[in-house]
Amino acid sequence: MEYRGLTLSANVSMLFTELPYLDRYAAAARHGFTQVESWWPFPGPGATESEIDQLVATIEAAGVSLSALNFFGGDLAAGERGIASHPDRQHELASNVDAITRIAERTGCRLFNLLYGQLDDRWSPAEQQECAVTAIRSAAEGVGAFGGTVLIEPLTEGLNGRYPLLTADDVLALLDGPLKNVDNLSLLFDTFHLGSNGVDLVPTATALARNLAHVQLADSPGRGEPGSGALPLDETLDALRDSGYRGVVACEYKPTTDTETSLTWLR
- List active site positions: 153, 252
Buried-exposed string 25-49: b where 16+ CB fall within 10 A, e elsewhere: bbbbbeeebbbbbbbbbeeebebee
Measured CA to CA, the distance from residue 31 to residue 27 in angstroms comes to 6
Q: Do 196 and 157 touch, CB atoms closer than 8 A?
A: yes
Residues with Cβ within 8 Å of 221's Cβ and at least 6 positions away in sequence, in order, are 196, 229, 230
45: cis peptide before it, omega within 30°? no
CA distances to 50, 70, 113, 129, 216 from 219, in Å = 37, 21, 20, 30, 10
How many angstroms separate the Cα of 126 from the Cα of each of 39, 122, 156, 172, 184? 28, 12, 21, 17, 23
- Of the chain, the end-to-end C-alpha distance in Å amounts to 12
